[in-house]
Structure 1
Amino acid sequence: MLLDAAFGEPRWLWGRFPHPAILMGQLIGWCDQRFNTEPNPRMKGIACMAALCVGAGTLGALVQALPTGLVDMIILAVLLAQKSLVQHVAAVADALRLSVGDGRRAVAMIVGRDTVEMDQTAIARSAIESAAENLSDGVIAPIFWFAVAGLPGLLIYKITNTADSMIGYRTPRHEAFGWAAARLDDLLNLIPARLAALLIWAVTTRPDPRGIIADAPLHRSPNAGWPEAAMAHGLDIALSGPRSYFGALRDYPFVNADGARELGPADIDRAIVVLWRVWGVMAVCALVMAVIG
Structure 2
Amino acid sequence: MNAALILTCALVLDALMGEPRWIWQRIPHPAVLMGRLIGEGDKRFNTGRGQKAKGVALVLALILIGWAFGLTLSVLGPLFEIFLVAVLLAHKSLIQHVQAVASGLRMSIGEGRRAVALIVSRDSAQMSEPAVARSAIESAAENMSDGIIAPAFWFLLGGLPGIIIYKLVNTADSMIGYKNARYAEFGWAAARLDDVLNWVPARLTAAFIAIPARVLRQWQAIRADAALHRSPNAGWPEAAMARAIHVALAGPRAYDGKMQEFSWVNADAPKLIGAPAIDAAVSRLWHAWAFFLGCLCILGLIW
TM-score (norm 1): 0.98
What is the distance in 2 between the residues matched to 1:286 and 1:64? 20
Match of 1:287 in 2: 297
- The alpha-carbon deviation at position 205 of structure 1 amounts to 3.6
Could you tell me which residue of structure 1 aligns to residue 180 of structure 2?
171
Tell me if the contact between 2:244 and 2:284 (Cα under 8 Å) persists in the aligned partners: no
After TM superposition, what 4+ stretches of structure 1 lie above 3 angstroms from structure 2? none
Identity over the aligned pairs, expressed in percent?
54
Deviation at 1:39, TM superposition (A): 0.5
C-alpha displacement of 1:216: 0.3
Superposed CA RMSD in Å reads 0.9
Deviation, 1:65, is 3.0
1:31 to 41, 47, 50: 41
Write the distance in 1 (CA, Å) between the matches of 2:83 and 2:302. Answer: 22
Structure 1 residue runs of 5 or longer lacking an equivalent are: none
Q: Which amino acid aligns with 1:214?
A: A
Correspondence 1:243 to 2:234: no
Query: How big is each residue's C-alpha offset from its partner over 1:126-160, in whole Å with a ceiling of 9 and x where there is no partner?
Result: 00000000000000011111111111100000000
Distance in 1 between residues matched to 2:190 and 2:221, nearest whole Å: 30
Distance 2:78 2:213 in 1: 35
Q: Distance in 2 between matches of 1:51 and 1:287?
A: 35
2:116 to 107, 118, 123: 107
The letter of the residue matching 1:153 is G
Aligned pairs (5 A) from 1:221-260: 221-260=231-270
Cα distance, 1:284 vs. partner? 1.2
In the alignment, which residue of structure 1 is the partner of 2:143?
A: 134
Q: Quick one: distance in 1 between partners of 2:32 and 2:154? A: 20
Gap runs ≥5 in structure 2: 1-10
Find the residue that maps to 1:249 and give its secondary structure: strand
What's the secondary structure of 1:208's corresponding residue?
Answer: helix
Q: What's the TM-score, normalizing by structure 2?
A: 0.95
What is the aligned partner in structure 1 of residue 195 from structure 2?
186
Relative contact order higher in (CA < 8 Å, ≥ 6 apart) = 2
1:122 to 131, 138, 145: 131
CA distance in 2, matches of 1:36, 1:26: 15
**Contact 1:61/1:151, CA 8 A, preserved across alignment:** yes
Q: Give CA deviations for 1:203-251 in whole Å, capped at 9, x if unaligned.
A: 2141521110111011111000000011111211111111111112221
Corresponding residue of 2:286: 276
Q: Is the Cα–Cα contact under 8 Å of residues 108 and 115 in structure 1 kept in the other structure?
A: yes
Are 1:90 and 1:269, in contact at CA under 8 Å, matched by a contact in 2?
Answer: yes
Paired residue secondary structure (1:189): helix
Task: Work out whether 1:18 is the aligned partner of 2:17.
Answer: no
- The letter of the residue matching 2:136 is A
SS at match of 2:262: coil
Q: Secondary structure at the match of 2:254?
A: strand
Residue correspondences, number: 292
Letter in 2 for 1:269: D
Contact (CA 8 Å) 1:205, 1:235: kept in 2 or not? no
Aligned counterparts of 1:33 and 1:217: Cα–Cα separation in 2: 35
Paired amino acid for 2:122: R
Supply the AA of the counterpart residue of 1:150: G
Helix, strand or coil: the match of 1:115?
A: coil
Distance 2:232 2:13 in 1: 31
Quote how far apart the aligned CAs of 1:123 are. 0.3
The question of whether the paired residues in 2 share the 8 Å contact of 1:121 and 1:263 is answered with yes
Corresponding residue for residue 203 of structure 1: 212
Provide the rounded CA distance (Å) in 1 between the counterparts of 2:87 and 2:104.
27
State the match for 2:73 in structure 1.
63
